[in-house]
Structure 1
Amino acid sequence: MSKTVVFGFPGDSQLYVADVEAGTVKPLEDTDGRAGELRASRAPFIRGVDFAVALAPADKAFSGLFD
């Protein structure tokens, strides 16, 4: 299974794709608009991920919060 996720942040119209194995995060080019349409529905769409949490700032992820 690929370790790639697509995500977006509230207030930012850009979607991003993260390739965990390559260690990269890049803007997603939504050429046909379907990802944007799915996002606009505001319905959760989760497939192949069993845990995700949005944190601000990112250093909280490494602060022992989830130890």
Structure 2
Amino acid sequence: MSEVKFVKPKNVSGHFLKIKCKDCGNVQVVFARPSSVVTCNICGATIAKPTGGVLETSGEVIESL
């Protein structure tokens, strides 16, 4: 089983981000500084985790809102 790589998005200008799940392709709006782990509403995969600042995501950031 491969390990999921989480990265911090660059140039976060808004408070919310549209993130695309890498497993199922679902696009979800997520708070840019979450206090808990964010999972995909469709497949349940972890798409974002808190870091004490800007989130780390395993998906693709589509848009900053």
Length-normalised TM-score, structure 1: 0.30
Which structure shows the higher helix fraction?
Answer: 1
Length-normalised TM-score, structure 2: 0.30
Bigger relative contact order (CA 8 A; separation at least 6):
2
